[in-house]
Structure 1
Amino acid sequence: MSENGFVKVCSVTDIPADGALAVEIDDVPVALVRTGAEIYALNDTCSHAEVSLSEGEVYDGTIECWLHGSCFDLRTGKPTNPPATRPVPTYRVKVVGDEVHVSLTAAD
């Protein structure tokens, strides 16, 4: 565990461009998503059907659940269309060199 609860999870190049990578931090499933130069981290479990979001498509600032098509905003975790109605948790990300660090603790 590093400063402020951040943990090194992978390198930037491990995350597919405009795609997602599933990781686990302290038994919490996390989807790391890269769109352009931005990297986001959100819980990897769809709030509607409890399947892995990292297996879905990434587009227009969202990740789409592959099972029923709900999309979640990468910044807020809020669903942008049904059938999901509950958001998924999002996590803080910082990039140090080529390393991606994620914190599961709430932002200050």
Structure 2
Amino acid sequence: MTEPTFLRALHENDLPPGEKKAVDLAGRSILICHVGGRFFAVSNICSHAEERLECGRMGNGWIACPIHGARFDLASGKPRNPPAKRPIVTYAVRLVEGWIEVEMP
């Protein structure tokens, strides 16, 4: 079995609590969120409106699409309310020597 591949995304000091930042990793737009003392990485694209989630509101454990307000759980990617019905992709995150790293499949 092969080891997972983690890519360095950004330094933890560059993402204060309550903030989010989009990064491009391996040709994918990933949104990294710092909420409740944890870092989350999700697809930056809404599964319903194909809109960038980086422009949406973020709450305690969720990110909202700026177009229709669909909210997605940051841990699971599952939609919390309509109009979204499909989840967004989530990625494993780890901290290594102050760097936020995201697992790429």
Q: Same fold (TM over 0.5)?
A: yes
Unaligned runs of 5+ in 1: none
2:74 is aligned with what amino acid?
Answer: L
What residue is the counterpart of 1:39 in the other structure? 39
What residue is the counterpart of 1:18 in the other structure? 18
Q: CA deviation at 1:19?
A: 2.2
1:58 is aligned with what amino acid?
Answer: M
- Quick check: 1:46–1:65 contact (8 Å CA) kept in 2? yes
What residue is the counterpart of 1:68 in the other structure? 68
Count of aligned positions:
103
Q: Could you report, residue by residue, the CA deviation over 1:45-87 in whole angstroms, capped at 9, with x for unpaired residues?
A: 0001111112111112100111110000000000000111100
Q: Distance in 2 between matches of 1:63 and 1:44?
A: 10
Q: Distance in 2 between matches of 1:13 and 1:95?
A: 12
What SS does the aligned partner of 2:78 have? coil
Q: Distance in 2 between matches of 1:34 and 1:62?
A: 11
Q: Distance in 2 between matches of 1:37 and 1:60?
A: 10
Do the aligned partners of residues 40 and 88 (structure 1) sit closer, same or farther apart at CA in structure 2, a change above 3 Å counting?
same
What SS does the aligned partner of 2:4 have? helix
Q: What are the residue-to-residue correspondences of 1:1-108 with 2, within 5 Å?
A: 4-105=4-105
Q: What value does the CA root-mean-square deviation take over the aligned residues?
A: 1.2
1:32 is aligned with what amino acid?
Answer: I
What SS does the aligned partner of 2:80 have? coil
Unaligned runs of 5+ in 2: none
1:24 is aligned with what amino acid?
Answer: D
- Quick check: 1:19–1:57 contact (8 Å CA) kept in 2? no
Once the two structures are aligned, what percentage of the paired residues are identical? Answer: 36
TM-score normalised over the length of structure 1: 0.89
- Quick check: 1:71–1:81 contact (8 Å CA) kept in 2? yes
